[in-house]
Amino acid sequence: MSSCFLVRIGQRNLLFIKRVVYNLLSISLLFGAFETIPNSAYNLALGNPIINVSGMGNGAFYDSGSLSKNRKIHFSGTVGNKFGLSELKESSWLIGLPYGQYNTGFGVRTFGNHLYQETVINFFGAGQLKNKLSWGCSINYYHIFIQDYGNTSTLGIGLSWRSNLSKNFTFVGLLNNINHPSLGKDQEALPQIISSGLLYRFENKIKAYLSWEQDIEYSGSIKFGCSYSPLPYLGFAIGGGSNPGITTAGFFISPSTFRIEYGIISYESIGRYSHKISISYFIPFSY
């Protein structure tokens, strides 16, 4: 009797997870395959843009040009649950390595559960031109696994660049999946995202930005946010975006070469929250 009950509970859980995954995938206007943004928690707190406003670690997954800003060997990791659902775990891990005048990097990110799992392995390269233009490129290996369906994979290429307009202003542009990669027998296209934004920075204390982001299959969205760091080891951020409407907030503390970040994002259209926590470590002797 009791073992039968446990089996039923297990089946119900399985059905629930399947339903959640199915619902999320079926409303693919919001989140189809590989549409989650592997941001650091603080970049999420700034409005979850795909451009790397905070300049730290995991923001380089899309905005690889931002790697050239970190001239130390660094390591970053971010974990969180999408919409607060433990079945939708996301995590991303990145290591950045300066190499002469250039920067290289390696990253891994995952999303999903044991029924549906996305994995992306990234290789990054970044550099600078005349101290006015930073560029970056990434080669992304996308792999997807769906239980009872199997798995498939493909390669994508991303580009990003930053123009230093003045001491305070920087223009950022990026293109993701410019090679138009697709998955599976039906050749499902992966999201191709174009974004550009203007960043403002004042003495490492205040940062603000305004960006335009567009998955070319859909209409675009505007994202914005600002952060304030009253002390070098403490900062707060808020942000927002349109289409779909989001509101974000978060903070960081950086007691030494460690940095811990927290970010929360609220999705207005579905009334749910996601939380993220990031940790970064910069090897101090690696100039």
Partner 1 sequence: MEDIPIKLVYLTLFLFLIDLGQAQGLNHFLSQINRDEENPLPEDDIYALEYIENHFRELNPFFISQIEKMTFLDENDIQQFKSQKELSAISKKQLSNNGELFFEFIETLNKQRSIGDIHIKQYFTFKNDVQYRWTSRLNKENKAIGLLVERDAFETQALDHVGLYIGIKTDKGEIIVGDYQINHAYGLLLWRSVPVKKGIGSIGQLSRRGKGLRPYKSSHENWAIRGLAYQWGTEKGQFLVSIGYTDRDGSIDTLGSYSIYETGIHVSATELGRKDGISENSLIVNYEHTFKLGVFGLCVLYANLKDKGKNFVETKGQSIYFDSKIKQVRLFGEFALGHQNTSASYFGIKTDNRQFKYVAILRNYSPEYFSLRSNPSTEWSSKSAGERGIYQGFTFKLNRHRITFYNDLFRKQISTSIEAFPESGLESGIQYEWRASKTIVRVRFKTEKKTRSTPQFIGEVYSNNNLTNRYQATTYHSYAKDLKSKLQINITESNEDIGYGINYRLDKNWHQWNFIFDGTSSSVESFDARIYFWDVNLPGEMRSRMVSFSGHNLGFRFSYSNNSYRLSMRLSSTWKNLNFKIKPVVSSGLLLESFF
Which residues bind to partner 1, rule: CB under 8 A?
A: 129-130, 132-133, 163, 165-166, 171, 173, 175-178, 180, 189, 192-194, 196, 212, 214, 216-217, 219-220
Q: How far apart are alpha carbons 146 and 72 in whole angstroms?
A: 38
Contact 282, 57 (CB under 8 A): no
> In this complex, which beta carbon is closest to partner 1, that of residue 201 or of residue 275?
201
> In this complex, which beta carbon is closest to partner 1, that of residue 43 or of residue 211?
211
Q: How far apart are alpha carbons 191 and 19 in whole angstroms?
A: 23
> In this complex, which beta carbon is closest to partner 1, that of residue 115 or of residue 189?
189
Question: In this structure, what token pair is assigned to residue 255?
Answer: 């007691």
Contact 189, 174 (CB under 8 A): no
Least distance between partner 1 and beta carbon 135 (Å): 11
160-163 own/partner pairs: CB under 8 Å, 24+ apart:
160/51, 160/62, 160/63, 160/64, 160/65, 160/66, 160/135, 160/136, 161/65, 161/133, 161/134, 161/135, 161/136, 162/65, 162/66, 162/133, 162/134, 162/135, 163/132, 163/133
Q: How far apart are alpha carbons 90 and 77 in whole angstroms?
A: 11
Least distance between partner 1 and beta carbon 198 (Å): 9
Question: In this structure, what token pair is assigned to residue 110?
Answer: 């995952």
Least distance between partner 1 and beta carbon 199 (Å): 13
> In this complex, which beta carbon is closest to partner 1, that of residue 34 or of residue 262?
34
Least distance between partner 1 and beta carbon 194 (Å): 6
Residue 1 DSSP symbol: -
CA 87 to chain centre: 19
Residue 261 DSSP symbol: E
Least distance between partner 1 and beta carbon 255 (Å): 38
Least distance between partner 1 and beta carbon 169 (Å): 9
Q: How far apart are alpha carbons 3 and 132 in whole angstroms?
A: 67
> In this complex, which beta carbon is closest to partner 1, that of residue 126 or of residue 193?
193
Least distance between partner 1 and beta carbon 61 (Å): 17
